[in-house]
Structure 1
Amino acid sequence: MYSESIREFFDRNLPALTVVAAHNDYEDGPRGTAAFLLWPTVLECEAVEGAAPQDVVTAVREIRQELWGRRILAVAACDFEDELPDPPTTLVTV
Structure 2
Amino acid sequence: MPTDLHCNLYVKVAPPEFAMELISRALAGSSSESLIYGSMEIWADYNGYQVDGGDPNYFLQWETVLECEPFPGTSLQQAVSDVKAVMEVFRQKGYLVVADCMYEEELKVK
Task: Give the secondary-structure state (helix, strand or coil) at the position aligned to 1:75.
Answer: strand
Q: Percent identity?
A: 26
What is the TM-score normalised by the length of structure 1?
0.74
Greater RCO between the two (CA within 8 Å, min separation 6)? 2
Greater strand percent: which structure? 2
How far 1:29 sits from its partner (Å)?
A: 5.5
Unpaired runs of at least 5, structure 1: 88-94
Give the corresponding residue for 2:106.
Answer: 83
How far 1:19 sits from its partner (Å)?
A: 0.6
1:67–1:51 CA distance, 2 compared to 1 (3 A): same
CA RMSD of aligned residues (A): 2.8
What is the TM-score normalised by the length of structure 2?
0.65
> Which has the higher mean CA deviation after the structures are superposed, 5-14 or 70-79?
5-14
CA distance in 2, matches of 1:49, 1:24: 26
1:62–1:24 CA distance, 2 compared to 1 (3 A): same
Unpaired runs of at least 5, structure 2: 1-14, 26-30
Count of residues in correspondence between the two structures: 87
Equivalent residues of 2:20, 2:44 under 8 A apart: no
1:6 aligns with 2:18: no
Letter of the 1:6 partner, please give it.
Answer: L
